[in-house]
């Protein structure tokens, strides 16, 4: 009977550790995914020169052309 109680206690401790580790891992994964999303949006804008939200590209104005010729 004593071995049964010890076994049940060990299983409960094991499951508590698993659940805590899983919750911490999910939180860290969400933070990492959020930071990677920001970086990928910036890279997409840099490479394609288009807005990642509305997919429009910036229009060149005459002032931009004059500054580039200098």
Look at residue 68 and tell me whether its pLDDT is greater than 60: no
Answer whether 58's CB lies under 8 Å from 49's CB: yes
Task: Work out the average pLDDT over 51-67.
Answer: 64
Phi, psi of 60 (to 5 degrees): -80, 135
Rounded CA separation 49/64 (Å): 15
- The alpha carbon of residue 24 and the mean position of all alpha carbons in its chain are separated, in whole angstroms, by 15
Rounded CA separation 3/35 (Å): 48
Boundaries of every domain in the chain? 1-48
SS3 state at 48: helix
Look at residue 58 and tell me whether its pLDDT is greater than 80: no
Q: What's the pLDDT tens digit per position in 8-32?
A: 999 999 999 999 999 999 999 999 9
């Amino acid at each position: 009977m004593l071995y049964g109680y010890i076994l049940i206690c060990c299983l409960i401790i094991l499951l508590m550790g698993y659940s805590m580790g899983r919750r911490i891992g999910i939180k860290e994964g969400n933070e990492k995914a959020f930071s990677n999303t920001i970086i990928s949006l910036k890279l997409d804008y840099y490479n394609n020169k288009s807005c990642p939200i509305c997919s429009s590209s910036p229009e060149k104005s005459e002032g931009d052309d004059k500054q580039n010729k200098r």
